[in-house]
Amino acid sequence: MNPSPDNGDRGAADKTADESAQPAETPPLHSAFPRTQAPRPAWRLIPSQFPPIGLFDTVATAADLGAAMELAGWTNDRLVTERIARLPQAEWVYGRPNSSVVMASFLHVAPGGMRFNGAELGAWYAAADIRTAAAEVGHHLRREAASRALPGLRRVYRSYAARLDGGFVDIRRAHAPAGQGPLLDPLYDPQAYVRSQPFGEAVRDAALAGIVFDSLRLAGGVNAVAYRPSLVLDIVQADHYAIHVRRDERRIDVEWLKAGA
């Protein structure tokens, strides 16, 4: 008869059995979707009230940037300080045209975040064409009019074209793998970002470039969100547009303006 294992052997055997019984780690949701390239160029509209050239355009090194931020009073803004600390220094963009435009999208964030990012750190949202970009901006402008109890709003925007490099997670419905369609419904919830923000932040944490997704505001429109400032490249300022919305109408009026208007 074989001798019974002593307590130490029995404990080791139980530990091995417990470890082998543990389920495998669940892969992140974004791994279920293919990778793709972002639209080229990708278009972004920014209110013209914000200056096109700023702090990040004018410095040459990260050390200079820290000193310039302190001199300009940026370090007095706790949220900005916390957000730039969340960005790896290799992702800081400075010393090239339109650097400030890029960095502002990461450092100045809506209080509740946006569809694919939380309030802790922003991202660069863009569209495959100006029409889609205007539809997205018009939707938020209408919401602003409603929140301020205004009958309507008109605002002038500068357009920027950029090349978004890297591999993007493709969650467009037409490109979803067989059987994965139901996973998309919570990500496209028109009223809430409860599922879409954690999904986006998981993509960011995986060091992927971003997400390509369907527009909720224009049928057939395509958008992208980029999480890495260093991969927002070849930014060119283009035309100006005036966008006018009424609080109680879905119509969005877009007026092309001359550059510099």
The model carries a pTM of 0.85
pLDDT in tens, 71-129: 556 656 777 888 988 999 899 998 889 998 999 999 989 999 999 999 999 999 999 99
Asked if 221 contacts 84 with a C-beta cutoff of 8 angstroms, the reply is: no
The full set of domain ranges for the chain reads 33-257
Summarize the confidence of residues 44-63 as an average pLDDT: 81
Asked if 163 contacts 231 with a C-beta cutoff of 8 angstroms, the reply is: no
Neighbours of 18 (CB within 10 A): 9
pLDDT in tens, 167-203: 999 999 999 888 888 889 999 999 899 999 999 999 9
Instruction: Give the C-alpha separation, 249 to 261, whole Å.
Output: 27
